[in-house]
Structure 1
Amino acid sequence: MTACKIRKDENYWREKLAAFLHDPPDKALSIWGHVKRAEKLREKIYVSADENLLSRADQVASGLDRTFLPERESGGEIKFPEYPVITHPTGKTSPFNLGPFSNFNLQNILSQIEILIAQDSNNFPKHYYSFALFHYFRHVLPWRLAQTNVGNLAWHWWGLPADTRLPDHSIWQHCALTSALYSCYRESPDTQASLMVFSLTPVQDFIARSRKLRDYWTASLILSWLASEGLWVVISRYGSDHIIYPAPIGQALIEAKLDKTCGFSHWTARYHLEARAATLPNKFLFLSPAGQEKEIAELIEKHIEESWKELAKKVKDLVKKECFSGVSEACLKSFDYIFDRQATNFWEFHWTAVSLLDEHLLNQNRPFLPKNIVQKLETYLEEARQINFPYLSFTEKFFYPASYDFAGRGLAAEKLSPREIRPEEPGIKCHLHTDFEALRFSCLECKNDGKSCELNSGRGPDSNPRPSRDPCWQKIRKEFSKSEFKETERLSALGLIKRLASRAVDKNHPLYSFFQRAESFPSTTEIALKDWLERAEKDIAELGLSHKDIAEILHQKETNNKYEIKDISKQEQEIHKKVLKLLKRRKEKNDEPTTYDRYYAILVMDGDRMGRLLSGGFAARWRDVLHPEIIRRLENGEIGSNFKTFWLDFLNCKRLISPAVHAAISKALSDFALYTVPSIVARYRGRLIYAGGDDVCAVFPISSALKAAREIAHAYNWAFVRYGQRRTVVKRDGKIVDNEFLTGEVSKAEDLLSQDLLLLHLGPGEEISISGGLLFIHHKWPLRAALERAHSLLEIAKDPGRRALALELQRRAGEQRTFVAGFKEKISFNENEVSVWDAFEALNKAFASRKLSSSFAYRPKELAEGLEVLSDNPDEMARFILAQIKTGKKENSSLYEEISSWVATVLLGDRRGTLAFEALEIARFLGEAWRRHGFN
């Protein structure tokens, strides 16, 4: 793949590394002497940079992220070991105290860093040594410093700030931005940097057209992998420091390539592969040297296309090798032609770029920019000029929000430009991609040419065979298990790639490690049965059965009115008999699979107003991100009067969007997707399909899905997050059976152990939220239709006010029961407020424990007229409901009062403004599932 050769210019990488090391990693520990410490580190590894370009890059990087901060002589010095505080870049939350910092020796720390680098870099590949060394500093060194506990700082290394006065971004982020700008200036004919956005589509049209859950998961992984290949072009040519969004650090598809290329395989523990799910979005933002935008865009497009075609060829070669031995080239001619036609030019690429706007470019493009953004930025600059602040040159550092907005508008306009329309395809259509022709042999061409059939001598070729008689698909089905391809299923190249990619990739392919356990990926039937399978685990183990075998046979049993065993191997017959024996055992225990074991849950979630968030619509104000000691000094007149005048005007304004904030948002979404979401999904016994930043899709047994959805929504607004081993280790018979890694919000350093990671999420704020659609659906409902409905529910949740969950039970017969409520919605009674979702879960338990009869779920609807009159008076509604519940009951009055308040809360809690009678039916259904699985 010529599009993705690593830049061999050693000077480029060594100068970039020198720019990265313009500040040392330990700068925050002592501002005094940090320049000499950085210089010593550069000398140790023999790197240097153009001082003029580096000075400009450092000034612009600092200005882009920090605006105007008081110097030491103006009262702005913060001795970090005395005030070891970091602030949150987007959320409105309290600062995080990293302390105490004591007993460290800067000289010893620098020596330890030098020794560690020398040891680690000893075996880097000679032909890519400088490339590897730079990316070691970017991707490995922070983890190694924490892992080896250099300076007894452990996890603190991740959080050390670039500027102790504005400690909301790390030294690693600032160094990366400086080195990226330096390289842009070095490579650009105009000595300028451009902000570039690249997008790969279609997304849902590719992944949602799936019959099996594994198709959907595989398609999501393929899309994520193609995005990583595009990012790898940026990394190979410019370096990973150029990528602003998504955060490349910790992304398995990127880190694994660095392991292979740079010799980092000793340190794979630095990233997280447990999720085995798609975690990269289809769009990325990066810095490019101005003047090279078109060139890099074409290289990205070319490399993604080549990567996709290589995967397509692997799938085609697999099918031809496994299924078509003995089939003539004449018969395969149409198969090859159709496959190649469909695999070519499927993907669409969109990109736009804008030079970082300085004052001159801003004035040139003023008609295309929102007035409010321009006016706000010019107000900052004008006041700074009036006060006569230093460092007012290089005005591109003041207008990043305008540059980002301009780039976004450019991408939106580019997507609206006319595209070449794919010609309509002829013939029998694909079962999944119904606008694509199904793959076939050359029967149609042979018939049109009057030729006899080579595959079936004595008969003419059939140009329109039934699916079960199609010679191409007969041969494919023969070589794979019955569950792999249905009798009625014929696929296009796209469908076949999704179905068989996991089998086709070899050990050298980036997706191989993700696909290693693809065959065990659960079906919708297995997910639906999960509670029952867990209850039957002892019997299953004794019979030597697997969950997958049981689910497959029970699916067949439900499909056929008469359960038959025919045309199967002796081994399969034995499995069938064991499953029948299992069913008999469970029947004797009064625990056969029932209706409730035929439903599973699909959860889709999406961050609200992400475009606005990335444009500055977050909660943090300057007051929230400046060091609290700086705030105290400003308010007490201990800061120079010029800075005091400036900052008292802006303290309560929103923090400006900047590359550091974009990097922080990117890291927050990455940490959320890579660590927190997989941990929650696993804890609630689900299976993650994708977690691409703010986008989440997972499947669950119905008993645990709601709790998982609520916890994910809650975690989205965490600020500072601990990732580490569970504090309580569960042991049985002396063996560890539960040693799970978990995430949780933390507020102080004492909450973390030395081996933990300190992560970042988006933090709290009115404009920072996530919404979800949660669908309870029969396992035999078509997956594509189920996914479409789940996404429709997500849109319903976002419609009235966001930060909501739309919940729906869809019965096999087609009837729907829907409930929509805000995650934080509460109903006010005279004496208290009740959370809508707490009340809903409490009703689930009330139905599960039979404190409410099943028939009660339908009774309020019969009383709709009376209840609607009481809609404005929750207390009166609760009393009215209490009278219905207590009919004929005298005991436990307080319990029924509580239940009546739950019912009133749920009825009044629907966002759509109508009484939520359907919610009670959903609660009854879930309550029965909870009861069967032993929840209390």
Structure 2
Amino acid sequence: MTACKIPQAFHDDENYWREKLAAFLHDPPDKALSIWGHVRRAEKLREKIYVSADENLLSRADQVASGLDRTFLPEKESGGEIKFPEQPIVTHPTGKGRYLVLEPLNNLKLETISNQIEELIEKDTKNFPKNFYSFVLFHYFRHVLPYRLAQKKVGNLSWQWWCLPADTRLPDHSIWQHCALTSALYSCYRLSPNKKASLMVFSITPVQDFIARSRKLRDYWTASLILSWLASEGLWIVISRYGSDHIIYPSPIGQALIEAGLDKTCGFSSWKARYHLEARAATLPNKFLFLVPAGKEEEIALLIEEQIKHAWWELAKKVKYLLVEKKCFDVVPKVCLKSFNDIFERQAKSFWEFHWAAVPLLDEHLLNQNKLFIPENIVQKLEAYLEEARQKKLSYLNFTEKFFYSASYDFVGRSLAAEKLSPVEQRAEEPGIKCHLHPDLEALRFSCLECKNEGKNCELITGKKPDPNPKPSRDLCWQKIRKGFSKSEFKETERLSALGLIKRLAYLAVDKEHPLYPFFQGAEGFPSTTEIALQDWLERAQKDIDELGLSPKKIAEILHQKETKEKYEIEAISAQKEEIRQKVFDLLSRRKEKNDEPTAYDRYYAVLIMDGDRMGRLLSGGFAATWRDVIHLEIIRRLENNEIGSNFKTFWQDFLNCKRLISPSVHAALSKALSDFALYTVPSIVTRYRGRLIYAGGDDVCAVFPVSQALKAAREIATAYNWAFVRYGKPRVVVRRQGENISSEHVAEEILNARDLQPEDRLLLHLGPGDEISISAGLLIVHHKWPLRAAVRRAHELLDLAKDSGRAAMALELQRRAGERRIFVAGLNDRVLELSVWDAFESLIEALAKGKLSSSFVYRLAAYEEALLVLKHNPKDMFRFVHAQIKKEENNVDLAKHIVSIILGQRRKKNFCSVIGDSLALEALAIANFLAEAKKRNESNGA
């Protein structure tokens, strides 16, 4: 990682890692293919690599891991046997009623498969580094082996290797997840003074204060990546100290920052294809959950904090020394730099705050001791569950910590919240000229103020007195910084703090060894808002642009500067080279001949902010799946047909339709669903709609789009959020504008049948359907010259408006350059007159664009607002009224229904007060008219 491949926190006892690996391999990878003989197959594999574990501790860890993730299920003798090859079903852990039926796995030769697994392991591991060999070997089994089994199609299986279940009766979590949880618990018991495991959460703050205070699109992207990377540095301490199996949330599997670190440390670089490096997706959150040996909590918290601080300061120093001092201040006297260095160090070292909390995994005794701190409904539900099992005399009732994971998770969350409320040392208010991005921080400067106070002359300009309060354009410090970089990097009026400077220049500061280096490749080409606004026009003009040898970025820069001049003349732009200016002039002339010069509609773009609803509740068990949804369908059938032992049947009569309990495997599934959504699906959709993803952090998305594409993209992302099983692979058919087939990157699409998966495809997981699983959106259409920070802030306000209206909603606003605002808030799944409100909205855009309805109708209908208000409680009468108005244009019944659906579709808050007043959603019609004009222009102009 940043400091060294293996941090000081590394657990260097080889026996620790060998015992951990033995615990991991207590079950073989192919267990689901045949329960019979799986114990011997696991023993054979352990003997092959010479690892063993304490049998008593391992038995306890296995039982607790099984109990934490599963439930009381009938054994073979009670009718509970499921032969997975004959009935291969994978259930969805969080979505409602979703499962995947695989093709029967016929003619499996277990001995051959077992031998192939052993041969593959032997081949892969023979050249592993001798240093830290057992650490490397363990993480090979955890991170690489599933990929290799799928890649080599061992046993004629491919993607199936990733999802082979730990328990065929409850096939909603994989054997890999169960083995990892078992090995983590084993290590906790082995290292803990009192042989217990604790659940620990660690948090890095502030988040929004760091990300949102940005000016350029690239600032937002860089800030989100830096925060994700800092989280990975903390997680790396957990990995090197205890192993990646200890991390519950976010799941470390497939996380590029984690996997790339293992590549460097363990030599896994040959298998990079096992994960997806999506530079636009910062998928590691600022808070992570993991298991730690009880009694070691404070020790690991300190190590994590020290590593994050160290990594951050190393990055800060790279920005300051390598870029600013060497590039800009090489001839500046040291006395002038003293204040710059002092301010930089003060701000960089005092910005981040760290919080943590830990509780032992609660057993029945600890639960009784801490009932006052846990919601009564959680305690009662868990106690009733255990008491019913005791009354029915079900087996495996020992080690009661396996029954109370949801209480432990709630308790540690409340403990963290309480810790954050504890008084912390407040940063002193900073003096002087303030940062353009962080107005609470002083802007970096030379020592002019101190020199003036001491009566010294300026050492930079002979014979001059120091100026402690210069205008931005005359600030000697920032003059030199601006001269060291391209003109687009810093505005003439911009002065930044250490935080602002790090965000702005980090992409240039990191070297090839830094974890962020591959993410920052191509960062200089990050588009401006002007380029995004021009996207449709640039695509239409692509042939002319190629012939003239121009780049979209240069065109956008010149047109942006052109618009700022009093006279809109290309020749007035003195900063550009004559050759490029002339080429842009030629381009505009060519497009003018085709009646396709940039117009007002090419000056607007869209900012999309999306965020998952009730994420805290979701992580606490607020998902849709019940036990009925996750238990194998054949077990459900047997329960309903009295083919299961009577004690299990009566037990499940009470609990079958209850929510599936939150567990480590569900937390891992939630993490995988969110990271798959951010890493694969969101980038695929954004690219298809010609947008630019700023960040995708799991449940939150920030992207910019050309106006013509934004609405469709937002709706598709919202739909994909509730997909269950997802195929990621090569597209079946890809069509571009004007029907031209082009090559494309892989695409993500929902599947309902495993037959849709090809051997080379990757099976992804999303959150699945459910009333409690939703995402909301704020979508702002704004002029490209409106300040980006204000635009993003307004998009966040729109998101809040959507959530306040009842969630699963989108707030859409058109903000004109002159300041006029039009707004529309509607539920993403709301229906009026049996029509989807947003389908109706898109149909209206289409009708206006094709001339089926004139623009004047929109404004004419607004004149009847009072009459429409009278009819708002009688949709049928309103439909007849609107239809009568449309008859003057074109007799279209469906169009009238669409308009009424929109007018009545505006969301209201839960207290039934209107979101934006008591008026109907007539402003939505004006927004539709604007979008229709943009659509019409985009589709009517040829290349």
In which range does the TM-score fall when normalised by the shorter chain? over 0.9
- Gaps in structure 2 of 5+ consecutive residues: 909-913
Of the candidates 670, 674, 679, which is equivalent to residue 669 of structure 1? 674
Distance in 2 (alpha carbons) for counterparts of 1:855 and 1:197: 58
Q: Assess, with a 3 A threshold, how the Cα gap between structure 1 residues 277 and 761 changes in structure 2: closer, same or farther.
A: closer
Deviation at 1:123, TM superposition (A): 2.0
Are 2:85 and 1:81 aligned?
Answer: yes
Q: Assess, with a 3 A threshold, how the Cα gap between structure 1 residues 729 and 765 changes in structure 2: closer, same or farther.
A: closer
Q: Secondary structure in 1 aligned to 2:368? A: helix
Equivalent in the alignment of 1:362: 367
Equivalent in the alignment of 2:309: 305
Q: Do the aligned residues in 2 keep the contact of 1:848 with 1:931 (CA within 8 Å)?
A: yes
Equivalent in the alignment of 1:909: 905
Distance in 1 (alpha carbons) for counterparts of 2:741 and 2:920: 49
Q: Do the aligned residues in 1 keep the contact of 2:558 with 2:573 (CA within 8 Å)?
A: no
Equivalent pairs, count: 924
Moved more, 19-28 or 123-132: 123-132
Q: Assess, with a 3 A threshold, how the Cα gap between structure 1 residues 695 and 567 changes in structure 2: closer, same or farther.
A: closer
Of the candidates 107, 111, 136, which is equivalent to residue 107 of structure 1? 111
Describe the superposition over 1:199-239 as per-residue Cα deviations: whole angstroms up to 9, x where unpaired.
11111111111111011111111111111111111111111
- Gaps in structure 1 of 5+ consecutive residues: none
TM-score (norm 2): 0.96
Q: Do the aligned residues in 2 keep the contact of 1:817 with 1:922 (CA within 8 Å)?
A: yes
Moved more, 909-918 or 54-63: 909-918
Are 2:511 and 1:506 aligned?
Answer: yes
Q: Do the aligned residues in 2 keep the contact of 1:275 with 1:688 (CA within 8 Å)?
A: no
Q: Do the aligned residues in 2 keep the contact of 1:277 with 1:514 (CA within 8 Å)?
A: no
Of the candidates 122, 128, 133, which is equivalent to residue 132 of structure 2? 128
Distance in 1 (alpha carbons) for counterparts of 2:8 and 2:682: 32
Distance in 2 (alpha carbons) for counterparts of 1:32 and 1:744: 37
Of the candidates 767, 775, 779, which is equivalent to residue 770 of structure 1? 775
Of the candidates 463, 475, 482, which is equivalent to residue 458 of structure 1? 463
Q: Secondary structure in 1 aligned to 2:52? A: coil
Are 2:862 and 1:866 aligned?
Answer: no
Deviation at 1:279, TM superposition (A): 1.6
Q: Assess, with a 3 A threshold, how the Cα gap between structure 1 residues 566 and 469 changes in structure 2: closer, same or farther.
A: farther
TM-score (norm 1): 0.97
Are 2:439 and 1:438 aligned?
Answer: no
Deviation at 1:585, TM superposition (A): 1.7
Distance in 2 (alpha carbons) for counterparts of 1:767 and 1:600: 32
Deviation at 1:728, TM superposition (A): 2.6
Deviation at 1:885, TM superposition (A): 2.0
Deviation at 1:648, TM superposition (A): 1.5
Of the candidates 37, 58, 61, which is equivalent to residue 62 of structure 2? 58
Equivalent in the alignment of 1:552: 557
Distance in 1 (alpha carbons) for counterparts of 2:278 and 2:426: 40
Describe the superposition over 1:376-419 as per-residue Cα deviations: whole angstroms up to 9, x where unpaired.
11111111112222211111001111001101111111111111
Q: Assess, with a 3 A threshold, how the Cα gap between structure 1 residues 834 and 564 changes in structure 2: closer, same or farther.
A: closer
Q: Do the aligned residues in 2 keep the contact of 1:443 with 1:463 (CA within 8 Å)?
A: yes
Deviation at 1:902, TM superposition (A): 1.0
Q: Secondary structure in 2 aligned to 1:631? A: helix
Distance in 1 (alpha carbons) for counterparts of 2:458 and 2:416: 52
Distance in 2 (alpha carbons) for counterparts of 1:382 and 1:756: 45
Of the candidates 10, 16, 19, which is equivalent to residue 20 of structure 2? 16
Of the candidates 896, 900, 904, which is equivalent to residue 900 of structure 1? 896
Q: Secondary structure in 2 aligned to 1:738? A: coil
* 1:388-407 alignment, distance < 5 Å: 388-407=393-412
Q: Assess, with a 3 A threshold, how the Cα gap between structure 1 residues 504 and 736 changes in structure 2: closer, same or farther.
A: farther
Deviation at 1:697, TM superposition (A): 1.0
Q: Assess, with a 3 A threshold, how the Cα gap between structure 1 residues 71 and 722 changes in structure 2: closer, same or farther.
A: same
Distance in 1 (alpha carbons) for counterparts of 2:366 and 2:51: 34
Moved more, 856-865 or 204-213: 856-865
Describe the superposition over 1:87-139 as per-residue Cα deviations: whole angstroms up to 9, x where unpaired.
11111124211122112211111111111111111222211211111111111
Alignment-mate amino acid for residue 559 of structure 1:
T
Equivalent in the alignment of 2:688: 683
Describe the superposition over 1:767-808 as per-residue Cα deviations: whole angstroms up to 9, x where unpaired.
111111111111111111111111111111111211111111
Equivalent in the alignment of 2:182: 178
Q: Do the aligned residues in 2 keep the contact of 1:123 with 1:263 (CA within 8 Å)?
A: no
Describe the superposition over 1:183-202 as per-residue Cα deviations: whole angstroms up to 9, x where unpaired.
11111111111111111111
Equivalent in the alignment of 1:709: 714
Are 2:72 and 1:71 aligned?
Answer: no
Deviation at 1:275, TM superposition (A): 4.4
Describe the superposition over 1:668-724 as per-residue Cα deviations: whole angstroms up to 9, x where unpaired.
111111111111111111111111111111111111111111111111111111111
Q: Secondary structure in 1 aligned to 2:822? A: strand
Q: Do the aligned residues in 1 keep the contact of 2:695 with 2:703 (CA within 8 Å)?
A: yes
Equivalent in the alignment of 1:385: 390
Equivalent in the alignment of 1:448: 453
Q: Secondary structure in 2 aligned to 1:390? A: coil
Q: Secondary structure in 2 aligned to 1:82? A: coil
Distance in 2 (alpha carbons) for counterparts of 1:671 and 1:94: 17
Q: Secondary structure in 1 aligned to 2:281? A: coil
Describe the superposition over 1:59-94 as per-residue Cα deviations: whole angstroms up to 9, x where unpaired.
000011112111111111111111111111111124
Deviation at 1:7, TM superposition (A): 2.1
Q: Do the aligned residues in 1 keep the contact of 2:9 with 2:303 (CA within 8 Å)?
A: no
Of the candidates 284, 299, 303, which is equivalent to residue 288 of structure 2? 284
Distance in 2 (alpha carbons) for counterparts of 1:608 and 1:552: 38
Alignment-mate amino acid for residue 834 of structure 1:
L
Describe the superposition over 1:843-895 as per-residue Cα deviations: whole angstroms up to 9, x where unpaired.
111121122222222222210111111112222212211221222x5xx63xx
Alignment-mate amino acid for residue 701 of structure 1:
P
Q: Secondary structure in 2 aligned to 1:286? A: strand
Distance in 2 (alpha carbons) for counterparts of 1:731 and 1:700: 17
Distance in 2 (alpha carbons) for counterparts of 1:136 and 1:480: 44
Deviation at 1:573, TM superposition (A): 2.9
* 1:470-481 alignment, distance < 5 Å: 470-481=475-486
Q: Secondary structure in 2 aligned to 1:794? A: helix
Alignment-mate amino acid for residue 150 of structure 1:
V
Q: Secondary structure in 2 aligned to 1:737? A: coil
Taking only aligned residues, the RMSD between alpha carbons, in angstroms, comes to: 1.6
Distance in 2 (alpha carbons) for counterparts of 1:509 and 1:568: 39
Equivalent in the alignment of 2:911: none
Equivalent in the alignment of 1:724: 729
The alignment-based identity, stated in percent, is 74
Q: Do the aligned residues in 1 keep the contact of 2:561 with 2:573 (CA within 8 Å)?
A: no
Distance in 2 (alpha carbons) for counterparts of 1:302 and 1:709: 40
Of the candidates 572, 586, 595, which is equivalent to residue 591 of structure 2? 586
Equivalent in the alignment of 2:790: 785
Q: Secondary structure in 2 aligned to 1:126? A: coil
Deviation at 1:729, TM superposition (A): 6.0
Describe the superposition over 1:399-452 as per-residue Cα deviations: whole angstroms up to 9, x where unpaired.
111001101111111111111111111111111111111111111111111111
Distance in 2 (alpha carbons) for counterparts of 1:118 and 1:399: 40
Equivalent in the alignment of 2:53: 49
Equivalent in the alignment of 1:879: 880
Alignment-mate amino acid for residue 687 of structure 2:
A
Deviation at 1:295, TM superposition (A): 0.9
Equivalent in the alignment of 1:28: 32
Equivalent in the alignment of 2:832: 827
Distance in 1 (alpha carbons) for counterparts of 2:99 and 2:931: 41
Describe the superposition over 1:482-505 as per-residue Cα deviations: whole angstroms up to 9, x where unpaired.
111111111111111111111111
Of the candidates 699, 702, 717, which is equivalent to residue 704 of structure 2? 699
Are 2:274 and 1:273 aligned?
Answer: no
Distance in 2 (alpha carbons) for counterparts of 1:558 and 1:124: 60
Q: Do the aligned residues in 2 keep the contact of 1:93 with 1:719 (CA within 8 Å)?
A: no
Are 2:219 and 1:212 aligned?
Answer: no
Equivalent in the alignment of 1:856: 857
Describe the superposition over 1:592-645 as per-residue Cα deviations: whole angstroms up to 9, x where unpaired.
111111111111111111111111111111111111111111111111111111
Of the candidates 249, 252, 258, which is equivalent to residue 253 of structure 2? 249
Of the candidates 557, 567, 573, which is equivalent to residue 578 of structure 2? 573
